[in-house]
Every structure is written in C-alpha cells, then in structure tokens.
Amino acid sequence: MAPRAEPTGATYSRRPSLKEEERTALIGWQAVSVRVPDDWIMAAVGGDRKAGYLRLDDARMPRLQVKWSSGPIDLERRRAEYVKRLTVGKRKRPTGLEVNIEADVLSKRAKPKKEIATFAWRGSHCGMGVLWNCDVCRRALIAQVSWPMEQDGRETAQDVLESLEDHGIQGWDTWAVDGLAFLAPTTFELLGWKRMTRYLELRLAQQREQLKVARWGMVPLVLRGRSVEEWYETENSRRRDVVWRAQQAMIKGHEGVAAQGLRRGVLAGLRRRGRRLLKRPAGGDFAAQAWHCPASNRLHLIETVAGGGELLQGVVDSVICHQEA
C-alpha cells in the first residue's frame, strides 16, 4: 500500500479532514457546507459560487433553504423583506402567525467573523433563520430551517445553522451529496454533475486541470464478478482522450486499481515537450484511483487530468468511504 501523501507547495495547501458524526449527513456545494439529520436530502440546487441556492427536504417538507451571493448586503432590509413574505402575500396567511426578529438563533461567539441578523416564526409551521455577511469570503448568506408546528425543532435548527459554513478551510472546499463527500481545492469550479439511482459524478476544473469524482452503488451489479482492475480496464478500453496503464493496488485499505497515462493530441504533446525543454516536472498528465469499499457497498473513482499526484492523492485521502473509527 502506497504511503498517504498530503498536498504541499503553493498550489495546494494542507488538506483538512472530513469527519463523520452519527445520524448526520454532510452536505457541501459551492463552498457552502452544513451538517443535517441523515434523512434530509438535497432537493434543489442552482447558480454558482458567486450566487446560488440550496434546498434540503425530508419526506414531509422543505427543511433547509440557503441562498448566497457576493456580499455584503443590507441585513436589516433583507430581514424585513423576509418577514414581509411571511406575513403578507397573495394568499391569505393563517391567523396566529408570530414573527420574532430578535430570536436567539446564533450567537456571535458561534460565528465570530460574521455580521449576523436572525429571525424566527411560529404558525402553521415554524422556523428559524439567519442572515450574515462574512468577513472571510466576502459573501452574504441567508438560511432558514423549518419544522411542523406540532414538533419542537428548535434544537435541531440551531445545530444545523451553527454547522453552516460559506467557505472552505485551508484552501479546500467540501463537496458532499448523497453520502459522497470529498475535498477539492477552492480554486476548482464545478463543470457539471450527474445524479442517478446508483451513480453520482461531479466534475470540476481549474484552467487545464480537471478532476472527476464518481461513486457507484449496488457494486455486485457493477463489477459482475470482476476485480476492480478488470472492471476499470473494461470500462476504459475504448477511451481515446488518454493513453493509460493500470495495475492492482490497495487504496484506503480496499481492493483497488491505480492508473497513470498521457493525454492524446498535438497540444498535449507540445506542452510535455515544452516542459522537458524548460526542465520543469511533468506532474502527470493523467492519473486515477478506484476502489471497492465492501462496508458501504460502494465503488469510488477519482480521476485527474493535468492535475498531478498531489491533487489526486489529496482528494482520495479526503474521501470517507465508510464509517471509520
């Protein structure tokens, strides 16, 4: 088993860790991260890092809604607008609705580098919300947690909002959907993603550097009796963008495969030749690692193009494929 390598140097700072907590799920999107009850799922996302939204639902109703934008914003004015939406609208609001703009939702101590305004309401359903301007990332964020009137969801709402963050740590952002969680450098932007019943894929990039993170469920149906190395070679046998070589490897204590190669094409060849002439390290044109975690019954794949070994190993090390001690 190869030793675990930490990203170093100017491009990638030291990578933090993702830790598991019982009965909670980690959600990460566009540098916004939060821990929520494990039955809340991502129901809607939109926008990008500059401005976007995220909504999480349980089986009954929307539970968490988050919006962010390049800040700062007028917190008092935005809070007044939210309160107005709760109390005035096209449809008649239920009687007995109470709104508190001085609610004790988050303390300044919990979020010391943020200018904060809070609100809460009680009616046909209840909720707590927070608005802030962040001194670190210069983004503004609005979030609210809702729960049915007959429940007491205040403690859960406070825990969720306290865990909410709007920027990465030490140059790495959290990306986490449906139990797949990993860290990627803050400078990488989302190119696209796929979400299907047994498959999840996120693709990110920074200039020519590309990162692909994928996960399969129901692994026996995917492998069909093959080893991970045999599966990888079959899946990539018709690939034309890179020339690669794979070998069996132990990754994160599991059966896996490691692949390395070169990109095809004239431009890629010229770049490699230029690096040799300038005596610069090639850094690896293409690299990938895949492994099967029996404990979670999941198959993971991390792939980089023009990203070098530091990026690949940093992302691989950040993935928690099963509950670890």
Look at residues 45, 309, 290 and name the one whose alpha carbon lies nearest to residue 175: 45
Question: How far apart (Å, rounded) are the C-alpha atoms in residues 191 and 117?
Answer: 33
Question: What architecture does CATH give domain 24-163?
Answer: 3-Layer(aba) Sandwich (3.40)
Contact 119, 129 (CB under 8 A): yes
> Longest Cα pair distance anywhere in the chain, in angstroms?
76
Indicate the pTM of the whole model.
0.86
3 state DSSP class of 320: coil
CATH of 172-318, one of 3.40.50, 3.40.190, 3.40.1000, 1.25.40: 3.40.1000
Question: How far apart (Å, rounded) are the C-alpha atoms in residues 247 and 255?
Answer: 11
- Tens place of pLDDT per residue across the chain (325 aa): 333 333 333 345 556 665 656 589 999 999 999 999 999 999 999 999 999 999 999 999 999 999 999 989 999 999 999 888 877 654 555 557 889 998 889 887 889 999 999 999 998 889 999 999 999 999 999 999 999 999 999 999 999 999 999 999 999 999 999 999 999 999 999 999 999 999 999 999 999 899 999 999 999 999 999 999 999 999 999 988 899 999 999 999 999 999 999 988 644 554 545 444 334 444 458 999 999 999 999 999 999 998 878 899 999 999 988 765 3
Question: How far apart (Å, rounded) are the C-alpha atoms in residues 115 and 46?
Answer: 25
What are the residues whose beta carbons fall under 8 Å from the beta carbon of 308, sequence distance 6 or more?
Answer: 283, 284, 287
What tokens appear for 244 in the block? Answer: 């690669």
Q: Where in the chain is the domain with CATH 3.40.1000?
A: 24-163, 172-318
What are the residues whose beta carbons fall under 8 Å from the beta carbon of 238, sequence distance 6 or more?
Answer: none
